[in-house]
Structure 1
Amino acid sequence: MSRILPLLPLRGVIVFPYTVLHLDVGRERSINAIEAAMVRDREIFLAMQKEAQTDDPGEEDIYATGTVAEIKQLLKLPGGTIRILVEGLRRGRITRYLSYDPYMAVEIQEYRDEGATTNEVEALMRTLINEFEHYVKMSKRIPPETVVAVVSLEEPGRLADVIASHLNLKLVDKQAILEAFNIQERLELLCEILAREKEILELERKINLRVRKQMEKTQKEYYLREQIKAIQKELGEKDERQAEVEELREKIAQAKLPKEIEERALKEVERLEKMPPMAAEATVVRNYLDWLLALPWQKETRDRLDIKVAEKILNEDHYGLEEVKERILEYLAIRKLAKKMRGPILCFVGPPGVGKTSLAKSIARALQRKFVRISLGGVRDEAEIRGHRRTYVGALPGRIIQGMKQAGSKNPVFLLDEIDKLSSDFRGDPASALLEVLDPEQNYMFSDHYIEAPFDLSKVMFITTANVEYSIPRPLLDRMEVIRIPGYTEEEKIKIAELHLIPKQLKEHGLKKEQLIISENALRRIIREYTREAGVRNLERQIAKLCRKTAKEIVSGNTTAVKVTAQNVDNFLGVPRYRHTLAEEAEVVGVARGLAWTEVGGEVLNVEVAVLPGKGNLTLTGKLGDVMKESAYAGFSYLRSRAKELGLPLDFHEKNDVHIHVPEGAIPKDGPSAGITMATAMASALMGVPVRNDVAMTGEITLRGRVLSVGGIKEKVLAAHRAGIKTVILPKDNEKNLEEIPPQVKRKLKFVLVEHMDEVLKEALVPFERSSRQPATEVKEAREEAITQQPLTHLALSR
């Protein structure tokens, strides 16, 4: 009988006659077919696609044989999907496709199971039921109640279809059963498939039995080994080699290693068990196993996330350093909110003695984490970071893995000291090896050449220290958050000495608080006249010297207590090393004070210029770098271009040589900060006008006299403050950096922001008529003396 029905293509499922099944439908054409069937007699034709991945199947993509089914229930789900309950009625075959839109309509030929039940069919039915019962018993996936329901069926076609629907068969086999319109053929095909499935189940059973026997064998061997151990223990005998292997196995079992590492360790134990005891390779394997067991693969400490306690600890250990403390408290706050935050990588940049290393220790104490420190100064071998290959007896892991073993936890505070002093040679570049260590996107699988297994460094809080930023390789610097610690003011040094340095040195020298009293004025004089540094390391040395002198006096019986005042400091420390301030020096023609930024903090450098009869040569001495030399030439060219305005002969450069010298020639000096300083010193020497003794300056100069911004402003300003400078000339573009200056320093200094060299000369050079600084006669005499030494006609510089 031919009929026209909507077609519903099925993906990965077949519906047999006499079976009820839920189907989820989401394709638009299929939904339209269901709606058309519901409008008519609720009947629809179900046929399976040949490829389940095809979203828009055509005639060649769908099997011709399918099932006429009735839609029993329809339920609309969120997202436009429809769930239907269908019951298979009869087989059918597509004879032709009538339409494709809005749904697929097909003409089908229906087939009904007809014909008398012959003896052969009866025999096939009994065989099929028997095979199905055996299959259910072997598979244990089909409930026994299903067998009872199947046995009661008397129609041969229905029996075959119901059994086929319960079997876990390949879709191709199910389709073959569906296409078997002849009942006898269908029963024979199903008996054949069931026999094959039974064979597969029998093989599965044999495999399971074999695995069980193997497990029993392993348990038996374990039992026998334990018996051997007991017998040896009873007899007082012990196989050392076997005992070592068993001890290693016990350690591996107790260590709770990651699965991959545990398998690697057990494999190495098996290798060790088969090796001769005295083999060199055995020593390598033992060392390797010791390292695997010693590393904290799973151990980690619990962070103390109390911000108030952490702030208290940081304030106890360090005075000042507000920016660093604030950054640590921010990390704690985020760590409390986000449990799985990766460890930050901080880089403390600052001169020696400002507390970079001790600050890292305080962070570890505040977090209650383990602390590990390694120094990278002078490290030039990549194996120091990544470890050595296990090719010889003396091979070791890199210093990162060694540090993790030392810490005993996978989340310590790890200090990489002096990272700016890394070097490289033919053995590799350790800075490049550190890129993986300090990259949060990579270090969760850090690979050491010795361990040969990924180690998780993502929970480590890495802190690096450096004196200067420019010598750190740029890719490495890019992975770190730089926090600059420029140095301390005089008031901060006094507080640090009172709160930390003096109590520490008293304890180390066995002195009591009342046995050595150092007044505040004495500390101030020590800072000014015996130390000149950004940090407090030399200050601590001087305090230690006072403690030694005091201990000697007390032990000698000369006194029971010592009081150090500003008047008697030199009795203990000797003659002062430095004058109180550079600003107390006299105003001199051709000498200007510049501000420099070095590895040990800010410095005040004198730039001296002498004008000599000659042919216009410009001589530079003082071990200057290329950048400073270029600045000197640029400043000289600027003065030549402004000779008329400055009152200089237009041909002064043809009759005079200019010699620029920066004292302390043994120290290399380079950078763009000295441009306006050298130009000012040259202008002073050529014009015969002294430079103010209370002025210091920094900035780069262009040929047209523009003043360009420079770096290290905070360090340079602190150096000027230490030297007693009153006025600091800075580029206008560096105005934003004044916010970094401590308020107590900013109040004592006058900042002059300039954009052009004319403004620098106007501020830095001494005016002709000046009653507030020194008598005008002294200035006049200095000018006349300078003019008599130089063949130049001096004109007044208007202010």
Structure 2
Amino acid sequence: MADKEIIVPLLPLRGLLVYPTMVLHLDVGRDKSIQALEKAMVEDHLIFLTTQQDVTLDEPGEEDLYPIGTLTKVKQMLKLPNGTIRVLVEGLNRAEVSVFYDYETHYGAKIKIYEDDEEKDAEHQALMRTLLDYFEQYIKMSKKITSETFSSTADIEEPGRLADIIASHLPLKLKDKQEILETTNVKQRLSRVIEMIHNEKEVLHLEKKIGQRVKRSMERTQKEYYLREQMKAIQKELGDKEGKGGEVAKLTEKIEAAGMPEQVKTTALKELDRYEKVPASSAESSVIRNYIDWLVALPWSKSTKDDLNILKAEKVLNKDHYGLEKVKERVLEYLAVQQLTNSLKGPILCLAGPPGVGKTSLARSIATSLNRNFVRISLGGVRDESEIRGHRRTYVGAMPGRIIQGMKKAGTINPVFLLDEIDKMSNDFRGDPSAALLEVLDPEQNHNFSDHYIEEPYNLSNVMFIATANDLSTIPGPLRDRMEIITIAGYTEIEKLHIARDHLLIRQLENHGLQKSQLQVREDALIKIIRYYTREAGVRSLERQLASVCRKTAKIIVSGERKRVIVSEKNVEEFLGKTIFHYGQAEEEDQIGVATGLAYTAVGGDTLQIEVSLSPGKGKLVLTGKLGDVMKESAQAAFSFVRAKSEELHIDPDFNEKYDIHIHVPEGAVPKDGPSAGITMATALISALTNRPIRKEVGMTGEITLRGRVLPIGGLKEKSLAAHRAGITKIILPQDNEKDIDDIPESVRSDLQFVLVSHVDQVLEHALAGDIQ
């Protein structure tokens, strides 16, 4: 409680405070502080000490000082040679500033003086006893305070003074000491000091534990170091090269022999030095060892010499694959330029086409023809960027990406590297692997490829990358732009016949342990198998059917029924059962409302019979056959065109109010979509409305506009093969597709008549039997 108010000089303290009853030496150097001391000495030796909140200020204001401080008595004052004054003060009472005075020469203040309540009850006694117990425990743990200090403290009977004295001995922050000074209630002050000394005891306990742990760790490390040095000395004396010393020596030899670039070699030797120093029991030891093993195992300079004999390469390619002239020509061009320049960077080819056309085996043949090592990685289902670029070495179980793994498997810096199923990659929250491939497949960047695990630049510019894809539309544009696309459309029946006779059948005979004399498959049987037991652009299913024939032949021969089997068109069903497929065949006679369209599917080309039926109604247009959005839109466009041109086509202008029109594409369970059925639907619709038949030998493909223009389509080669197979002799196609006719094999092209059209009127001239009146 505040008893009285007096006016005294004020001395601000920096980083220090004085409790009542404390005796303390202070060094005073600021002018105003010296003047305040001199003023106190002239009067009654009383001066008010309070602490600055910011110790950096030389001239603090009222707001920079704590309002509660200590009224003290100056006991002694001594001027030092350096101009400062050393003063001895004794704390008297807590006091609070009520009015602050900033005189020119010094600070002063009117202060309220607080006296501690001298009454003691049982709670006071309990708090004092607890505080002394804690203080004794603290002294024993700290060992920075002498036992004599505790003895002198234990004799204090005033509770408030006891709290102040003990607080002055604790290593508290200035803010906490000020809090004790500002606590005028004695019980609260005792409780707060007990709380603070308890916290200090906890801190000392933790310090002791940490110190013991560090000491044990240091002792163990020193012991291990001493033992390792002893082991080295013993191994040196015995000439023993086993253990880590010998291992490091072997690794050094491998690093020197690996042919690494200087930068990589420096890194490898640095990591080897770390490996030697790290204890073998440490987890880091195995991480470093794996990293060094990868650096040593990678090919940095070893290469195979290219066989640049073009004639030999052509012979190898022709032996392994029938047809595929474009791809073979591109490989031979590469060899020719390489022979002239001897410095061409590896090209990046992408073989695109349906399954089973030989994309992967062709890449293997290219490696054989170039005399290069071959390595293949499958990208199907890859959705993590680290699959391509590798993991950071900080992760558990980290390893390089598939590119670096492939190079290690190849063993040379110039292999043929196949990136299989590049269109089957996906992405998720772990990153986009197709984006990581951009650097791999860019000839301007891949000489400096960076893998997250290896961390050192790796040169991929000598690698011949070949990618395969079924569907180019799923490959991102930037990635597709870095590759040279070579489309393998599929094989004609003639090509399949040659492949089956010269490659597949020979391989299956060998796989099934049969001699050529034991099984003969005639050409007509092969054609029947191709037409009625397979539906594909490639030859994978064809090989499976031939394998089935071989299995049944093996059973016949082993059971002793016959010693030789001949398979002809007549007895194919004995081996393969009833025919599986019935390819769309040309109609036997001209039909009304039935047009033959040509379609492109994932397994090559096919024919579609588009049927139109009229029934009395109110102009409702019904579309069936599991059609996609594009084909539905083509049907609507054809319907609108016919309505607009009804008078010119001699059709009842009100037909849409008299008839319901049903357009159906058979095989309703098979999804069908694409922008090439417009003219077929229009022709079938006009045929049904004019009651004119459509020529049976005509197939057609092309998109239609509302004005009757015919737009270009894709997949002409595949569609032409399907038309030829179905017995169609005339194909109507858009004028803009004239350039694509050259891609059709000569054997097919010679049997077909191509009619180029730019408007539906031209289509009708060739498709409908008889002239339009």
**Global fold match (TM > 0.5):** yes
Deviates further, 616-625 or 397-406: 616-625
Q: Tell whether the 8 Å contact from 2:448 to 2:459 is kept in structure 1 after alignment.
A: yes
The normalised TM-score by structure 1 is 0.66
- 1:737 to 2:740 alignment: yes
Residue 797, structure 1, aligned to residue 734, structure 2: no
| Structure 1 position 669 matched with structure 2 position 672 | yes
Q: Give 1:578-589 correspondences, 5 Å limit.
A: 578-579=581-582, 582-584=585-587, 587-589=590-592
Does 2:540 match 1:537?
Answer: yes
* Alignment partners' CA distance in 1, 2:415 and 2:667: 44
Deviations 1:2-29 (A, max 9, x none): xxxxxxxxxxxxxxxxxxxxxxxxxxxx
Give the AA of the match of 1:633.
Answer: Q
Q: Does 1:571 align with 2:574?
A: yes
* Map 1:173-322 → 2, pairs under 5 A: 232=235, 235=238, 240-322=243-325
SS at match of 1:720: helix
Give per-residue Cα distances to partners, 1:95-114, cap 9 Å, x unaligned: xxxxxxxxxxxxxxxxxxxx
Which of 432, 439, 443 is the aligned partner of 1:440? Answer: 443
Closer, same or farther: CA 584–546 of 1 in aligned 2, 3 Å: farther
Rg (Cα) greater in structure: 2
Give SS of 2:250's match: helix
Q: CA deviation at 1:469?
A: 2.4
Separation in 1, partners of 2:435, 2:594? 45
**Bigger Cα displacement from structure 2, 365-374 vs 718-727:** 718-727
Cα distance in structure 2, aligned partners of 1:240 and 1:702: 81
Secondary structure, in 3 states, of the residue corresponding to 2:693? Answer: coil
- 2:394: which partner in 1? 391
Equivalence map 1:442-457=2 (5 Å) = 442-457=445-460
For residue 691 of structure 1, report the CA deviation from its aligned partner. 2.7
Q: Residue 517 of structure 2 aligns to a residue in which SS?
A: helix
Query: Which residue of structure 2 aligns with residue 682 of structure 1?
Result: 685
The 1:233–1:570 alpha-carbon spacing in structure 2 relative to 1, beyond 3 Å, is farther
1:454-490, CA deviations, whole angstroms, 9 ceiling, x for partnerless residues? 1111111111111232222221111111111112222
1:624 to 622, 627, 646: 627
Verify: 1:704 aligned to 2:697, yes or no. no
Q: Describe the shift of the 1:611–1:285 C-alpha distance in structure 2 as closer, same or farther (beyond 3 A).
A: farther
1:719 to 718, 722, 732: 722
- Given that 1:699 and 1:707 are in contact with CA atoms closer than 8 Å, whether structure 2 keeps it comes out as yes
Look up the SS of the partner of 2:586 in the other structure: helix
Write the distance in 2 (CA, Å) between the matches of 1:286 and 1:668: 55
Aligned equivalent of 1:499, options 502, 508, 528? 502
**For 2:361, which of 358, 361, 364 is the aligned residue?**
358
Distance 1:694 1:280 in 2: 76
**Cα offset, 1:453, TM superposition:** 1.2
Per the TM alignment, residue 298 of structure 1 is displaced from its structure 2 partner at its CA by: 1.0
Total equivalences in the alignment: 546
Deviations 1:339-369 (A, max 9, x none): 1110011111122221111111110000000
Deviations 1:261-304 (A, max 9, x none): 11111122222223232322222222211111111111111100
Q: Percent identity?
A: 64
Change over 3 Å in CA distance of 1:644–1:545 after alignment to 2 = same
Paired residue type of 1:494 = L
Residue type matched to 1:549 in 2? K
Closer, same or farther: CA 294–644 of 1 in aligned 2, 3 Å: same
The answer to whether the Cα contact below 8 Å between 2:418 and 2:467 also exists between their aligned partners in 1 is yes
Q: Aligned runs of 1:16-415 on 2, under 5 Å?
A: 232=235, 235=238, 240-415=243-418
Match of 1:655 among 651, 655, 658: 658
Per the alignment, residue 557 of structure 1 pairs with 560
Report the alpha carbon displacement of residue 543 of structure 1 after superposing the two structures with TM: 1.0
TM-aligned CA distance change 1:278 to 1:392, over 3 Å = farther
CA contact (8 A) 1:414 1:460 kept: yes
1:278 counterpart SS class: coil
So what's the TM-score if we normalise by structure 2? 0.68
Structure 1: unaligned runs, 5 residues or longer: 1-224, 768-795
Q: Is the 8 A contact 2:232 2:245 kept in 1?
A: no
Match of 2:515 in 1: 512
Asked if the contact 2:375/2:410 (under 8 Å) is kept, the reply is yes
Q: CA deviation at 1:239?
A: 5.8
Q: Could you tell me how far apart the structure 1 residues matched to 2:621 and 2:276 are?
A: 79
Assess if the C-alpha contact under 8 Å between 1:354 and 1:535 holds in 2: yes
The 2-side partners of 1:666 and 1:468 are apart by 22
Query: Which residue of structure 2 lines up, in the alignment, with residue 104 of structure 1?
Result: none
Q: Look up the match of 1:485.
A: 488
Corresponding residue for residue 196 of structure 1: none
Deviates more, 1:618-627 or 1:629-638: 618-627
1:459 corresponds in structure 2 to 462
What is the alpha-carbon distance in structure 2 between the residues aligned to residue 657 and residue 388 of structure 1?
A: 64
1:601 CA displacement: 1.6
Q: Take 2:389 and 2:670, find their aligned partners in 1: how far apart are those partners? A: 36
User: Following the alignment from structure 1 to structure 2, what is the Cα–Cα distance between the partners of residues 428 and 589?
Assistant: 56
Q: Is structure 2 residue 682 aligned with structure 1 residue 641?
A: no
Paired AA for residue 710 in structure 1:
I
Offset, 1:673: 1.1
Aligned CA RMSD, in angstroms, stands at 2.3
User: Which stretch of the first structure deviates more once superposed, 285-294 or 656-665?
Assistant: 656-665
**Is the CA contact (8 Å cut-off) linking 1:301 and 1:409 kept in structure 2?**
yes
**In the alignment, is the contact (CA less than 8 A) between 1:283 and 1:393 conserved in 2?**
no
Equivalent in the alignment of 2:422: 419
Q: Give the whole-Å Cα distance in 2 for the aligned partners of 1:286 and 1:661.
A: 68
Instruction: Deviation per CA, 1:621-670: give whole Å up to 9, x if none.
Output: 33433332222221111100111122221121233332333334444433
Distance 2:601 2:328 in 1: 25
8 A Cα contact 1:486 1:714, kept in partner: yes
Q: What CA distance in whole angstroms lies between the structure 2 residues aligned with 1:610 and 1:271?
A: 83
- Residues 613 and 524 of structure 1, relative CA distance in 2, 3 Å threshold: same
Query: Is the contact made by 2:308 and 2:370 (CA closer than 8 Å) also made in structure 1?
Result: yes
Contact 1:284 1:392 in 2 (8 A): no
Q: Which runs of 5+ in 2 are unaligned?
A: 1-227
Tell whether the 8 Å contact from 1:467 to 1:600 is kept in structure 2 after alignment.
no
